[in-house]
Structure 1
Amino acid sequence: MNKPAGLAVHRSRLVGADDDYLMDRLRLQVEGRLHAVHRLDRATSGVLLVARSTEMAAELGRQLMARTVEKTYLAVVRGWPAEQGSIDYPLSGSSLRGEAKSALTHWRRLATVEVPIAQGRYPQQRYALLEVSPETGRYRQIRRHFHHVSHHLLGDTSHGRGDHNRLIRQHYGVHRLLLHARRLAVVHPATGQSLKLQAPLDDAWLRLLQAFAWMEMLDADAGEPTVMA
């Protein structure tokens, strides 16, 4: 399914007890047990795998552990990173404490823009649209990795830059983290066939892509047909 930004997947100690949750919404619509196979940050939108049985959830979980699931995100970052690259930087767990574990993120730059808005000592601001493929699944991995290399994600209120977040709110009406789980490819546990899922972008994303003249670039990068989540 396509998880909206700002909605937590399930109840946890990190969010309020009275908040709205994705799994609670689904259980009101679908009979039987449901299992979230993986997680997306509350602020992140996009493809989320939900299984209807413990057996299916376990098999999909094994694929995730084996790193055979292809995960592709879209992100908008501050600055112009190289055309492609990798960030190999260990990260700690959800408490941001404890032992750091290996974490690897790859990216490919899809488009760039320079907007004529003065801020600080710069008369223009540079942003880039990236396709991001994390090999591991550490807590807030993409957000923390791009913070580490000073290409902060726009709209990230925890690891980003407040001045650039204000810029996209004031000039483009974007009030969300610009990170979207665009595509997911897994092997269907029952049929053994490759299953490719894609989640459409919300209005805030489309508004920014239009403003930055990136719509054509995104359409050209759509690739082979996929099942819409």
Structure 2
Amino acid sequence: MLEILYRDEHLIAINKPSGLLVHKSFYAGKADAYAIQELRDQIGQYVYPAHRLDRKTSGVLLFTLDKDTLRIMNDQFAERQVEKKYLTILRGWTKEEETIDYDLINEDEIRQNAITYYHRLQISEIDLPFGKHQTSRYCLVEAIPETGRMHQLRKHFKHILHPILGCRKHGCNKQNKLWLETFNMTKMMLHAHQLIFNHPVTNEKITLNATVNDEFKRVGNILNFDLSLYTRPSQFPLPS
């Protein structure tokens, strides 16, 4: 069963598990299950994704329950009126805060402007030898993408030489292998923990929070991060 974070007659939001595709995609390949189908079967109603999350990214995923609401939400996302906040664990210690303004090339070989703001939340140094170093450093950051390019956060953090832990394509494979062999970690440490927008019908400000998954918590514990400060659940009544 998918965890439902919010539901009314126009919208529904879930806490998407890591590894679940939102829908069928040429670029992502085939899968045995898709969030759009699982949610439709769970509630017995068609749903329409208002935005996307990568397969390996967990967290807040918003759907509409009708096409008119979908058009309104599409406009909000396109006009950058929706604030998306992510928690991620990176290799090394970043700056305390930074805006990454670095163009990305999309799947059609088109250059696109891409902007990400992040601020560092916590740092960690553990007794884990890596290369010539006897310890390894990591940090927990909150990232807020101003644009919504494919794999934007993964590519931007690679660009500043602080890749996301567990990211294969745009990460550090030596670190990923180290964590797999030492801690049996197989997931990517990227979680969409908050979505803020105005309700498309009532115009009420909606803030949706998604708690991190068990694997993110486990890695956070290894690094002595206090994740409870940033993962409070949403407080909305759900229809029975």
- TM-score > 0.5 by shorter chain: yes
Q: 2:154 aligns with which of 143, 146, 155?
A: 143
Equivalent position of 1:130 in the other structure? 141
* CA–CA separation in structure 1 for the residues paired with 2:194 and 2:181: 30
Equivalent position of 2:73 in the other structure? 60
**Equivalent position SS for 2:105:** coil
- CA drift at 1:53: 0.5
Equivalent position of 2:7 in the other structure? none
Cα deviation, 1:86-138, whole Å, max 9, x if unaligned, reads 10001122x2x422111000001001111111111111111000000000000
* CA–CA separation in structure 1 for the residues paired with 2:38 and 2:145: 28
* CA–CA separation in structure 2 for the residues paired with 1:208 and 1:17: 29
Cα deviation, 1:4-54, whole Å, max 9, x if unaligned, reads 101110011124445311111112122332100000000100000010001
**Equivalent position SS for 2:177:** helix
Equivalent position of 1:45 in the other structure? 58
What is the aligned-residue identity percentage? 36
- CA drift at 1:185: 0.5
Q: How does 1:29-178 map to 2 (within 5 A)?
A: 29-93=42-106, 95=107, 97-178=108-189
Q: Which runs of 5+ in 1 are unaligned?
A: none
Does the C-alpha gap of structure 1 residues 208 and 17 become closer, same or farther in structure 2, counting only changes over 3 Å?
Answer: closer
TM-score by length of 1: 0.92
Counterpart of 2:66, as a letter, is S
Cα deviation, 1:154-191, whole Å, max 9, x if unaligned, reads 00011001111122223333210100000000111121
Q: Is the 8 A contact 2:198 2:206 kept in 1?
A: yes
* CA–CA separation in structure 1 for the residues paired with 2:90 and 2:39: 32
Equivalent position of 1:187 in the other structure? 198
Q: Is the 8 A contact 1:173 1:204 kept in 2?
A: no
Q: Is the 8 A contact 2:97 2:118 kept in 1?
A: yes
**Equivalent position SS for 1:49:** strand
* CA–CA separation in structure 1 for the residues paired with 2:30 and 2:216: 29
After superposing on structure 2, the runs of 4+ consecutive aligned residues of structure 1 that deviate more than 4 Å are none
Q: 1:219 aligns with which of 222, 228, 232?
A: 228
**Equivalent position SS for 2:104:** coil
Q: Which has the higher strand share?
A: 2
* CA–CA separation in structure 1 for the residues paired with 2:63 and 2:130: 43
Cα RMSD after superposing both structures: 1.7
Counterpart of 2:26, as a letter, is R
- CA drift at 1:193: 0.3
* CA–CA separation in structure 2 for the residues paired with 1:92 and 1:82: 25
Counterpart of 1:208, as a letter, is V
Number of aligned residues: 224
Equivalent position of 2:32 in the other structure? 19
Does the C-alpha gap of structure 1 residues 208 and 13 become closer, same or farther in structure 2, counting only changes over 3 Å?
Answer: same
* CA–CA separation in structure 2 for the residues paired with 1:35 and 1:101: 26
* CA–CA separation in structure 2 for the residues paired with 1:129 and 1:173: 20
